[in-house]
Structure 1
Amino acid sequence: MLAMHVGAVVALLPRFWSWQALVALAFLYWMTVLGVTLGLHRLVTHRSFSAPLWLERTLVLMGAMACQSGPIEWVGLHRHHHKFSDQPNDHHDAGRGLWWAHSGWMLHQIPALEHVERLTGDLQRDPFYRWLDRWFLLLQAPLGVALYAYGELAGVHGGGLGLVLWAIPLRLVLVYHVTWLVNSATHAFGYRNFNCPDRSRNCWWVAILTFGEGWHNNHHAFPHSARHGLRWFELDITWQHIRLLRALGWARRVRLAHYRP
């Protein structure tokens, strides 16, 4: 984690700037965040819709590119969070403060890990997910090699190293923090459509950064809904992707909640 943050700072040095690096960052940010929100979260954790196995595995691979542990651990911890949201045994209990909920909890022992296997029986049966849960970090290697080779061959300003720094450490740090904002900011800032027994709130700027995950109070009220933005002004980019998949016939049995004031 420390190395990724150092690498992100180094990436911002002028010598590593290029339009190609910015494009790589933007594309991979879209791919990675969508892998987390659409793949790991709405599809696999909550089963808010069903998809062909090839598509599910593709989306989970995209989510694993976020390097936020493997898919089994990610899903297990998130399911545990919903069972005990903002209670003392919630691993990122917002009642312990913004820093704790944002990232402080990761620096300590996480008792919730003991429950991951029990909460992820559906994923444990799949050897692909078991493999990915162990080796997810390896996904960055071919990406780094391909970007470095392209940067050197194309004569990009900053070279291959510049592309690698923008596409891996800088991207990962951005994705880390926008994801963690769902644990911290959306339990502290914003408004509530529903009286949930936790601190969850709807925060518009987190929703923009996370493609719709910032409508967190809506999500905690209806965890299995594929759509988090329930009011007309609650932009939910991930939901728009699900609508596209449904139109293509690749998203079926879509579960939806509706806002009724």
Structure 2
Amino acid sequence: MTQQQIAPALVPAFAPTGTLRASINLGNPVLANRDPVGGDPVGVSVDLAHAFGRRLGVPVELVVFEKAAASVDAVRTEKADIGFFAVDPARSEGLRFTTPYVLIEGSYLVPDSSELADNGQVDREGIRISVGSGSAYDLFLTRAIEHAEIVRLHGAAPALAAARSREVEVAAGIRQLLEAEARRAPGVRVLPGRFMVIQQAMGIPDVRGAAAQDVLGSFVEEMKADGFVSDALERHGVDGAVVAPAAQLPS
């Protein structure tokens, strides 16, 4: 795939300060973590941020957050220039998204003693579902759940702990994270299948305009097509996500 050329006049739309400020969410371990040795942010989203900075010819500053909602707000309020988010209608105001670059499964964690055997049994009276407040699965379940109660907690770790301690009947989250929790210690299990597919995309503040959105979207499609995203997933040992299919961009 031919490498896109970014018009110099568009560079300030992405880096008005002369530096590309990239909002990184450490709350999604599929996309970003801290290096266990040096503590620096590492992951697929970090790699994409640096690659886009190189494409623009500007330095990159990582603006790091522990929760998705804070990472989204940083871009929406232009405290950061780009971000890496799950696409959701509740996040569309004030943002422009690209097509997705990675797909992640959202699943349920339950205590081993639970009678729940599949995802279709979760949405009923008397069931409490813990989620990280403002996460992609919180937003999705807020629209989809009709009978169960959603218990919003400060991040993924407290949500998983609530299921293990029987404070709730179910915890919702990224499948890879739930499987790691189930392997960590006996007492919980992951229900088979998924209740949603999370589409991870790049985003910019809405005020940066449609031309900037198109450029960023073309960059994402190029990174998928030339193997950059798949290589990054492999390099960082991610097995809970797949590269999103190629999208047809406007000509």
**Which range, TM-score by smaller chain?**
under 0.3
TM-score, length-scaled by structure 2: 0.24
* TM-score, reference length from structure 1: 0.24
